[in-house]
Structure 1
Amino acid sequence: MLAIGEFSRLTHLSVRTLRRYHDADLLVPATVDDASGYRYYSADQIPTAQVIHRLRELDVPLAEVRRIVRSADPATRADLVADHLRRLESELARTRAAVVSLRRLLRPDPAPLQVELRSVPATTVAAVEGDVELDDVLPWYSGAMAELDALVSQPTGAPGGLYDNSLFEVGRGHLVVYRPTSRPPRGGRVRPVTLPAVELAAATHVGDHDDIQVTYGELGAWVVGNALAVAGPVRETYLVGPRDTADPSAWRTEIGWPVFRVATRAAVAGRPGGTASA
């Protein structure tokens, strides 16, 4: 039997932590002296203590740690750990995206965004469309693009997507993912769709998609500053992306907002019989 101090040194768990784990019924001593209340551990408990220590380093909640160490089935233990690791990876991805965005937003002298106004004619493309929850956009996009890749053998341009404004405003909206081709096929969810003619304010986001919302914001500020208003779903064109290269620094995503020019308050008020309005 090992006294709690000895067990602490062997497992790198403090005496205070061992007592807390005992109180939480997570790591119960092999025996407790009735007279003195001293806790004693067996050498067989060292691996269990080390597992608990590693799980807690990964921020696994105590209740889940208890389930893992008490499970007799190795496959069940592995599944429980894998579930938590997936959650950690997701949290790390969100943290990384936030850090990238903040660094760009807090730059003292951000580079000016290059915006192009251009007319885009109506175009018939091969497309998959549907109403999608915001949290499901990435898997839905991947599935839709896989169907397009399977049917469109000779694309005539970069793939793209139309994202309804309600997707960002209320968390659910209409999506159209497409590939330009001279003869759009039909099959599964793929069908010909005609994208309407638009006037686009377009800018290219360079690099990883973690801070693409910053480019959205800069483009939006440019639109407002030039007395324009958004007139439809945003268009993204994936000039270079993960499908083309694993190097995020090489990715290029064009963001295009259909726009129209709006009258300023002064212009409206200056017309015969005109009044300024919001």
Structure 2
Amino acid sequence: MDDDLLTIGAFAARARLSAKALRLYDRLGLLAPAHVDEATGYRYYRADQVDRARLVALLRQLDMPLARIAEVLGAEGTEAAGRLAAYWADVETRVAGQRTLAEYLRGRLSGRSSEMYGKFVIETVDVPAQVVITERRHTLADELPTWIGASLGRLEAAARECGGMTGAPFVVYHAEVSMESDGPAESCVPVADEAAARAWAAERGRPWETTVRVEPAARLACTRITKAQVAHPQILAAFEAVEQWMAGEGLRMAGPSREVYFADWDAAGPHDPVCDVAFPVR
């Protein structure tokens, strides 16, 4: 055995980590010992492994899951930095969403619902009739964001073969979507060529859930929200604000609620407007 190797205790002291943490990192493949004694099972490390050990510990201080740490360690240079940046962007989006939710819940618990709803700017807009290619699914709230992204991606790709998109994609809620109720929800993309859309749906769509229909012209009562506010359940505040405004204006609901996604989701930051929460009214 190399005389320059350090025992796990000596290495732990130099790396400012516990032996327990080092055993965990070894088990997860984040930091393997340089040598393991076959007879005793003792772990030994090289001095040049200290930087990697400290890096793992620092990443853990960011509450980074061990699987994400492995991704960062498996990359080099700018790629590793990019993976860290992507993780931290996810954290900031989550925290921004939680901040919005906490504000919403404080308003509810303190009886300040009217004040809370007053923060949303609500207006009516008229939208023309549109040919839409759609995908419908029963889904719970925790599965909803993934499905929305995937289904709109599929439908936007289809739209390129159907004369292009003629408006912002939107998601219609035909029934409540929550952790207990599964909708269904329907992703919709307006397209230019109805005949091409119907041919696409018949040939390559999913017959049990992909359809083409004409969405009638409508007047929508809507409010614009940020990317952070889109997350469930804080988005419920926007829906409730529009419903309260409609009641105050004497407007009746004329169809299921929807979310209209008008911005580039991936490029948007937590505080960038990305979505209109809307209800058809009459």
TM-score by length of 1: 0.57
Q: Residue 278 of structure 2 aligns to which amino acid in structure 1?
A: G
Partner of 2:15: 11
2:229 corresponds to which of 206, 211, 217 = 211
Q: Residue 239 of structure 2 aligns to which amino acid in structure 1?
A: Y
Cα distance in 1 for partners of 2:187, 2:23 equals 56
Cα distance in 2 for partners of 1:88, 1:97 equals 14
Q: Does 1:141 align with 2:152?
A: yes
Shift of 1:161: 2.2
Q: Does 1:97 align with 2:115?
A: no
Q: Secondary structure at the residue paired with 1:203?
A: strand
1:125-164 correspondence runs (5 A):
125-131=131-137, 133=139, 134=144, 135-153=146-164, 155=166, 158-164=167-173
| Contact residue 138 and residue 183 of structure 2 kept, 8 A | yes
2:47 corresponds to which of 43, 56, 62 = 43
Q: Secondary structure at the residue paired with 2:53?
A: helix
Q: Secondary structure at the residue paired with 1:159?
A: coil
Shift of 1:145: 1.8
Specify every segment of 5 or more residues in structure 2 that has no aligned partner in the other structure, as ranges: 38-42, 206-210
Q: Secondary structure at the residue paired with 1:233?
A: coil
Q: Does 1:168 align with 2:177?
A: yes
1:188 corresponds to which of 168, 184, 200 = 200
| Contact residue 162 and residue 177 of structure 1 kept, 8 A | yes
1:1-278 correspondence runs (5 A):
2=6, 7-13=11-17, 17-18=18-19, 21=22, 42-43=46-47, 46=50, 49-50=53-54, 52-54=56-58, 56-57=60-61, 59=63, 78=74, 93-102=93-102, 111=118, 113-116=120-123, 123-131=129-137, 133=139, 134=144, 135-153=146-164, 155=166, 158-166=167-175, 168-169=177-178, 170-179=181-190, 181=192, 185-186=196-197, 187-189=199-201, 192-196=212-216, 200-206=219-225, 208-212=226-230, 213=235, 214-226=237-249, 230-238=253-261, 240-242=262-264, 251=273, 253-259=275-281
Q: Residue 172 of structure 2 aligns to which amino acid in structure 1?
A: Y
Q: Does the C-alpha gap of structure 1 residues 184 and 116 become closer, same or farther in structure 2, counting only changes over 3 Å? A: farther
Q: Deviations over 1:219-275 (max 9, x none)?
A: 12223445655453213444x411798577664643321346xxxxxxxxxxxxxxx
| Contact residue 100 and residue 210 of structure 1 kept, 8 A | yes
Shift of 1:183: 5.8
Shift of 1:136: 1.2
Kindly indicate whether structure 1 or structure 2 has the higher relative contact order, using CA contacts under 8 Å at least 6 residues apart.
Answer: 2
Q: Does the C-alpha gap of structure 1 residues 174 and 236 become closer, same or farther in structure 2, counting only changes over 3 Å? A: closer
Shift of 1:148: 1.4
| Contact residue 202 and residue 254 of structure 1 kept, 8 A | no
Specify every segment of 5 or more residues in structure 1 that has no aligned partner in the other structure, as ranges: 33-38, 69-74, 261-278
| Contact residue 22 and residue 28 of structure 1 kept, 8 A | no
- Answer with 1 or 2: which has the greater Rg: 1
Say how many residue pairs are matched: 233
Cα distance in 1 for partners of 2:91, 2:244 equals 30
Cα distance in 1 for partners of 2:193, 2:26 equals 67
Cα distance in 1 for partners of 2:34, 2:254 equals 68
Q: Does the C-alpha gap of structure 1 residues 164 and 28 become closer, same or farther in structure 2, counting only changes over 3 Å? A: same
TM-score by length of 2: 0.57
Q: Residue 200 of structure 2 aligns to which amino acid in structure 1?
A: G
Q: Deviations over 1:201-234 (max 9, x none)?
A: 512305x222141322311222344565545321
Partner of 1:275: none
Q: Residue 53 of structure 1 aligns to which amino acid in structure 2?
A: A
